[in-house]
Amino acid sequence: MFPPTRIRSCLPVMNPLFKQRLRPHRPFRQTSSVHQTKSVNLQKTKWLNFRSIFTRWMPLGSVIYVGWCYIRASINYEVSKVEIRFYELFPFRVTSRIWGKIAACELPVSLRGFVYGTYVKMFNVNLNDAAVTDLSYYKSLSAFFTRPLREGARYIAPSPCVSPCDGVVLNCGPANTDKIEQVKGVTYSLEEFLGDNKWSKKKSEDYYNSLLTNKENILHQCIIYLAPGDYHRFHSPCNWTATFRRHFSGKLLSVNPWLARLIPGLFTMNERAVYVGEWKYGFFSMTAVGATNVGSIEIYSDPELRTNTKGKRNRVNEADLQVTYQKGDLFGQFNMGSTIILLFEAPKDFKFDMAAGDRVLVGQALSLAAKEQTR
C-alpha cells in the first residue's frame, strides 16, 4: 500500500518519537531545599500555633490522660491532688455547651436512621421500651436521648421508695456520718454536697443531726449512674414534698464509675441541682448531678432552673418550693447520661434490696417490699 521509498522517508521523523516514548522514567529530584523547608515549617506551625492548643494538644492530652486514669483504676492507684487540679483545668463546661448545641441541631430525615442506629449499636440502647421506635421520628440527638417510655414499659413497685431512673447502682446503704461513700473506699462530705441547712427549723451544731426529724432514724443513700444508652428521664422515687432547691454551678467532670473511684468528693465538685423536702419518715433529698457533655438538667416543675450557663463555677442559686410529688411522677431529664443521688431519713432497719454494681429500672423497689408493708 505504501511504497518502500515513502516509509524510508518517514523514518527520520518517527525515530525521535519512538525514542522519546521508550525513554526510561526518571524520578523527580528536588534540586533546591526551599520546598523542603516550607513543608517543615508548615508542620511546625500546625502544632505550635495558638489554635493547635485547642484543636490538637488538648484532645490528645485528654485521650492520654483518660487512658492513664483507666489503667490506674484497674490497679487501685490513688490520684494525687496535683493530677486532680490538672484534670479540672480542662474546659469541660465549654465543650459540654458546644455538645449541647450540636445535639439540639435538627438532622435531615435521610441521616437520622444512620446516626441513631450507630448510637443504638454503640451503647446497646433498648428501643423496645421507647414510646416511638421509628428513628426518623426524632428530630435531633437531644430528642432521641430524652425519648419517653411506652406505656407499661415500667412497673412501679408497691415499696415506699423505688428507683427514680434506669442505671447502675454505684453505692447504697446507711449513711451514719458526715463522710459518705460515693464508691467503696472513696468518700464525699455531706455538708459540702447539700450546703447550709436553711430548710430545717431545727437548730443543731452537728450538721448530720440537724437533718433528722427523729433521733431514732438515720440517713440512707442510693447513688445511681445513668449510662449514655439508658433512659434519660428520671421520676419521683416516693410520695414526698419538695420545699427547697439549691443549684450549685460547679464543674462538669466525668461521673463514670471508674473515675468516681479515683477522685474523692467528685459529687461535691460537679454541678448539681439539690431538691430537699420531706417524706413519710422525715428528711428526703433528690439530687441530679451534671457531668461531661451534659447539655443541661431540666426539671419539669422548676422552669426557672438553668444549668451549664456561662459564669463563675462557684455560683449557688437557691429557691423556696412547695411541690408535691407522687411515686412514679416524671421529675426531670438529662440531655446525656449522669447521676441521681438519693439521701433520705429512714429507720435503722431499712434494708436495700440491691448492692453496688446491680442494674435497676424505673419503679424497681429499693427495699424489700414485704418488710416495708408490714410496718
> Which of 235, 296, 353, 367 does the annotation list as catalytic?
235
CA atoms within 13 A on the CB side of 287: 24
Question: Which cell is 278 given?
Answer: 420531706
- C-alpha span between 209 and 219 (Å, rounded): 10
Conformational region of residue 334, where left means phi above 0, alpha means psi within -120 to 50, and beta covers everything else: beta
Question: Which cell is 36 given?
Answer: 523542603
- Write the burial class of residue 104 (CB in 10 Å: 0-12 exposed, 13-18 middle, 19+ buried): middle
Whether 217 and 152 have beta carbons less than 8 Å apart is answered as no
> Which of 96, 142, 159, 166 does the annotation list as catalytic?
166
User: Which amino acid would we find at residue 75?
Assistant: I
Dihedral sign, Cα of residue 372, residue 235, residue 275, residue 91: positive
- Residues contacting residue 352 through CB under 8 Å, at least 6 positions apart: 172, 173, 220, 222, 366, 367
Say which DSSP state 270 is in: B
> Which of 142, 249, 338, 367 does the annotation list as catalytic?
338
166 is catalytic: yes
338 is catalytic: yes
Residues catalogued as catalytic: 166, 235, 338
